[in-house]
Amino acid sequence: MGFPISNLFLYFILYAFLGWVMETCYCSIMEHRLVSRGFLYGPICPIYGGGVTLMILFFTPLKRNLVLFYIVAVVVMTSWEYFVGWMLEVTTHVKYWDYSQYKFNLKGRVCLWVALTWGVLSYIVIFFIHPPIQSLVEDLPIWLEFMLCGAFLALLAVDATLTIRNLVLVAMHVESVTQLGQEFQLQAALGKAELEDSVAALRERYSEQVAQLEQVSRRFRNAYSTMRAGRRYSVSHEDILAAAALAKEELLRRKNTLKARRGRH
């Protein structure tokens, strides 16, 4: 589409870094503490790198029509954010950001005010930020351009490998914790006679899995304060209490039945 692959890759890395700086500053100010945002270990947010790359490829031809530019920017960038959020939830069973507290949101992955902000950011990037950066990148010697691409690609590959490994561990622990919670629910709902003995073992296993989950997900939780397990892989505290109440009623019913039988004899 008229852009060398090497240039696009450098744009991706640069804007991913600038996105990380913006998010880190914003979240640190809002939470009154240093929050190192970013999906990867390194100081980059790929969602911004990919998003700005889309802007460069598809929005540049629309610069002469600002209304169309803004509408397309809002639609494309919001779709991109929704897709990334959906993909992360499907692959890791974890929700990294949540706009559910805002009006006009779609499954918590996107919302209206953020969508409108994407349009403004697209305008600022394409009209003011990207032109000098494009000139800088295009003026780089070929040998330096390819050297930078090779170095950044190697670092990105290592970073992505370590992050994916950690994400797999997080996903495994989330599913394990959820399965234990569901097993506890089942035991409680059935009101088994051996419930009191099995609950202690289940609680111990549940606590161990939760501790391991907290350990492997600490980095992500520090960066994403709204990070939580997906609904499919979560068991609420209220559900467990309700199941325990049902179990208690079942046990009392069985004890009363036994007492009544003994009284007859």
Residue 87 has pLDDT above 80, yes or no: yes
Residue 217 has pLDDT above 70, yes or no: no
Quote the CA–CA distance of 60 and 54 in Å, as a whole number.
10
pLDDT at res. 235: 47
Residue 10 has pLDDT above 90, yes or no: yes
**pLDDT-derived band at 113, boundaries 50, 70, 90:** very high
Kindly report the average pLDDT of the chain as a whole number.
77
Quote the CA–CA distance of 11 and 49 in Å, as a whole number.
7
**pLDDT-derived band at 175, boundaries 50, 70, 90:** low
Among 13-17, 25-29, 155-159, 186-190, where is mean pLDDT lowest?
A: 186-190
pLDDT at res. 115: 93
List of residues 6+ apart from 165 with CB closer than 8 A:
none
Beta strands in 91-199 (DSSP E): 94-95, 105-106, 110-111
End-to-end CA distance of the chain: 90
Average pLDDT for residues 107-133, to the nearest whole number?
Answer: 91
Which one is predicted more confidently, 181 or 244? 181
Average pLDDT for residues 236-263, to the nearest whole number?
Answer: 59
Burial of 95 (0-12, 13-18, 19+ CB in 10 A): buried
35 with 222: CB under 8 angstroms? yes
Phi and psi of 171, rounded to 5°?
-60, -40
Which one is predicted more confidently, 120 or 171? 120
pLDDT at res. 233: 47
Domain spans, the chain: 5-154, 160-264
pLDDT at res. 41: 80
Among 4-13, 40-49, 71-80, where is mean pLDDT lowest?
A: 40-49
pLDDT at res. 255: 62
Residue 193 has pLDDT above 50, yes or no: no
**pLDDT-derived band at 88, boundaries 50, 70, 90:** confident
Helix (H) or strand (E) holding 229: strand 228-229
pLDDT at res. 188: 59
